[in-house]
Chains A and B, each alone.
Chain A
Amino acid sequence: MLSRMDSKWSRILSGGIVLLALAVVVGPLLWVVRVSLRPVDEFILAPTSLGGTWTFENIIEAVTVGEMGFAILNSLIVISVGAPLAVLLGSMSGFALARFKFLGRGIAAGLISTAIFLPVAAIVIPLFNLALSLRMVNSLIWLAVIYGIIFSSWVALFLRSYFLQLPTEVFEAAQVDGAGSIRTFVSVALPMAKPALATAFVLSCFIQWSELLIALLLLPNGDTPTVALGIAQFSTQYRSGGPQTAAAMIVGVLPILLIFLVGQRWLRVGSLAGSVKD
């Protein structure tokens, strides 16, 4: 396409820009990996040196002493409740908004879209009070349920746009065969929406793995930290951000990278753009 008319110089220029972008993106990551594998005393003496000893000490320490292993377990508990909940709620709404005409559909769609735009920071005070009155402060499962609900609204709009793309004939055929709406949803709509469901699930895992503000407020005693809390604690303890922080971060990020890797072949992140209509 575009390359055909490119002169040699403009090709060199665009190649240079892309190489620079690659260096800017990959460079800091490689640097942090290297820092995490340096002994602490060597890092303090020469923070910008690349040479010296290689050690897994910080990584092991992050998992054991630094409780990152425990934090990973906690975050896995959170996403194994929260992500399916978000996908379940979102897929049901998305299906109804795409396939049914019902009383109050416009209001439902409006409220769900509004929920996407609401700043989490704006509702944390009442959410904390609610957890307090239900004695759910410091409960991982409660945190997961909250995540599953408040991060479900984008899933609904995303899946709605996916269900709208599916051919109507399939649903009509199911109806002719006598399938009720629940049957149609479970046996027709969901199987056809696998790529979208996988995308919604992986991104839900990512969002809930990363969330910090609600976790800070709903898990205040620090006994059951999520990964985001664990990394935050590390960066508070070692303000300078040395090898220990780097190691904790790498350990904490590996599981979610793994989830992306496994889910990658079903991911359709590009289709997200289609979910907001204009």
Chain B
Amino acid sequence: MTSTSAIGRGRGGASQPSRPKRRLEGAGFVLPQLALLLVFTFWPLTQVIGLAFTRYDVLSSPEFVGFANFEFLFAWQDFQRIILNNVLLLLGVAVWVAVPFILSILIFPMKHATLIRTLLFIPAMLPPITVGVVFRIVLANDGPINQILKTLTFGVLSPNWLTDSNLVLFSVIMVISWATMGTGILLFSAGLAAISPSYVEAALLDGANKWQIIWHIYRPGLSSVTRFFTLMLTITTLTGFFPWIYALTRGGPGVSSVTLDYAIYQTLVGGTQLGRGAAIAVIALILMAFVILIQVVMRRIRQAEDWS
């Protein structure tokens, strides 16, 4: 394979550390991964882009149809809802970042901080499909949460968390907040530990209050962690929702919790509209590129204004 020959070349470079060979040396280390990624991610990617312009099912070979798949999708009401679902879930990012941000600041000075953080990290160690199963049980219509709510409100409140089309996305956002909180707390706590206590001491001497300290010291001090976590979660909303949705709602009721990746899976299971599935994939990719573009632009602006 290419990889072995590349390493061989690298070895040659090591024995004779002349300049041009040194250049190949590093390349030899990168080549195995790069070659495999090209074959197993980038080549499939070009395939998908091609398939998006075809009518294609498991039995017949792809037939070129131009933009027909895209025209269909944009005219299709269910697809508009699917896009809306992704946009609404994107709003969840604010919750998923804010909750661990606040909790990590609250926990930081506590006596049993390590123990508390360990307990809160448990959900982060559960595969998403497991989290889905946990909340299918806990949020069931006759489950414990509704039992508590019913008792507290004398039987008035007993929402169908996962089967009410107006509520289901809210439930999904809450469940994912539960699942990602531990990771967030861990990241923010590492960030907090890196902030020198002398800043806080100085601020206290100057008579700053708690909110001023959070806003003027912790927020900028944690900004790189916040950006990393935000980017990570934003990407997840576009790429990694499948197992959660699969376990929690199967996209239901109707299409009210179908996300883009779940929609692709549905076309695959149906097996008759693979071209349409590929078109959805292309739209997801465009949205992803858009998110990354925004991130890059924000970074440029920040660098230009030196604003944190």
Task: Enumerate chain A interface residues (CB-CB to B < 8 A).
Answer: 1-6, 10, 14-15, 17-18, 21-22, 24-26, 28-29, 31-32, 35, 47-48, 89-90, 92-93, 95-97, 99-105, 108, 111-112, 115, 117-130, 146, 149-150, 152-153, 156, 175, 180-183, 185, 206, 209-213, 216-217, 227-228, 231-232, 234-235, 240-242, 245-246, 249, 252-253, 256-257, 260, 269-273, 276, 278
Contact = CB atoms under 8 A, between A and B. Distances in A.
B30 interface: yes
The 10 closest A-B pairs by CB, nearest first: A100-B26, A180-B14, A270-B190, A210-B127, A96-B29, A126-B44, A102-B26, A121-B261, A119-B239, A122-B281
A182 B11 contact: yes
B48 A123 contact: yes
Interface stretch (B89-97, B129-137, B164-172): B129-137
A216 B204 CA distance: 56
B247 interface: yes
Nearest to B298: A278
Contacts of A156: 33
A108 B30 contact: yes
How many interface residues does chain B have, given as a range?
35 or more
B137 A32 contact: yes
B37 to A, nearest CB: 5
Interface string B134-160: 111110101110010000000000000
A104 B25 CA distance: 12
Nearest to B45: A123
Contacts of B270: none
A182 B224 contact: no
Interface of B: 7, 10-11, 13-15, 17, 22-30, 32-34, 36-38, 40-45, 47-48, 51, 102-103, 105-110, 116, 119-120, 122-123, 125-130, 132-138, 140, 142-144, 147, 178, 181-183, 186-187, 189-191, 197, 200, 204, 209-210, 213, 224-225, 227-229, 231, 235, 238-240, 242-243, 246-247, 260-261, 264-265, 268, 274, 277-278, 281-282, 284-285, 288, 292, 299, 302
Given A111-B34, A126-B43, A271-B190, A101 B23 contact: yes
A251 B109 CA distance: 36
B210 A2 contact: yes
A210 B103 contact: no
9 contacts: A22-B119, A89-B33, A102-B24, A103-B23, A118-B288, A120-B239, A149-B41, A231-B127, A253-B130
Nearest to B43: A126
Contacts of A242: 137
A6 B105 CA distance: 13
Contacts of B197: 1
Contacts of B110: 3, 15, 18
Contact of A92 (B30, B190, B204): B30
A97 B265 CA distance: 35
Contacts, number: 302
B51 A115 contact: no
Contacts of A272: 187, 228
A32 B103 contact: no
A14 B106 contact: yes
Contact of A256 (B127, B142, B228, B265): B127
Contacts of A183: 14
A6 to B, nearest CB: 7
B205 to A, nearest CB: 11
Given A4-B204, A102-B25, A152-B33, A125 B268 contact: yes
